[in-house]
């Protein structure tokens, strides 16, 4: 019998350089009225898989207490390595923090844009109101209210889970990436995975 696999997954993203966005798409994107609107668009490129890119995927295998970060400059290679390992592991459950709304759609769309094939019978489940195949910790803690506030750091403090934040946060990831500090990004991403996993362990028996 294969080893059961509950995988906690987290991603880090950055915006693409504007000149790397296809010309017509860039023209549509930047067709705004003010410089402030343009600045806001450029600041948020990393939040959209059509204008951003994945620079790190963190994975924490709970049963084995084992973490791995897929963190490398070549996004296509990063995604290919991630999917290849999922095909071997075939996890029975995923755990994320806001993964149904952000991480999993982002991975799927970037994989489609980059033309990275996915393993047969492996799916990143994004269905809401279910904790069976994909336990989204944020979804559970906010009772499925998408616009209710609450960060990973906030919920860690509420539950007494050690905070994953130690000198780097999401706003600094782009600067770290441009400086080539991939190891720091990987450690940050894996810390988020461990924190998410700790919250899941506190919640899982209440949501069977």
pLDDT tens for 84-121 read 999 999 999 999 999 999 999 999 999 999 999 999 88
DSSP 101: I
**Is 90 exceeded by the pLDDT of residue 1?**
no
Burial bucket for residue 139 (CB in 10 Å: 0-12, 13-18, 19+): buried
Dist CA 203 CA 96 (whole Å): 13
Query: pTM, whole model, 2 decimals?
Result: 0.93
Q: CATH assignment of 6-206, given 3.40.50.1010, 3.90.1170.40, 3.65.10.10, 3.30.420.10?
A: 3.30.420.10
Query: Tell me: the pLDDT tens digits for 17-75?
Result: 999 999 999 999 999 889 999 999 999 999 999 999 999 999 999 999 999 999 989 99
């Amino acid at each position: 019998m294969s080893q059961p696999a509950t995988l906690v997954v987290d991603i880090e993203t950055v915006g693409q350089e504007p000149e790397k966005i296809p010309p017509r798409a860039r023209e549509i994107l930047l067709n705004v009225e003010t410089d402030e609107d343009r600045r806001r668009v450029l600041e948020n490129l990393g939040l959209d898989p059509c204008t951003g890119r994945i620079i790190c995927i963190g994975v924490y295998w709970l049963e084995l207490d084992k973490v791995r970060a897929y963190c490398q400059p070549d996004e296509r290679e990063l995604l290919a390595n991630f999917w290849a390992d999922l095909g071997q592991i075939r996890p029975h459950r995923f755990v994320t923090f806001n993964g149904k709304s952000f991480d999993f759609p982002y991975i799927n769309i970037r994989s489609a844009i980059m033309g990275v094939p996915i393993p047969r019978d492996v799916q990143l489940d994004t269905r809401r109101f279910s904790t069976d195949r994909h336990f989204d910790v944020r979804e559970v803690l906010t009772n499925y209210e998408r616009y209710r506030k609450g960060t990973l750091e906030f919920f860690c403090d509420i539950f007494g889970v050690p905070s994953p934040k130690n000198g780097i946060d999401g706003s600094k990831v782009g600067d770290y990436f441009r400086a080539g500090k991939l190891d720091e990004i990987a450690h940050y991403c894996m810390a988020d995975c461990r924190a998410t996993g700790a919250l899941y362990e506190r919640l899982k028996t209440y949501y069977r």
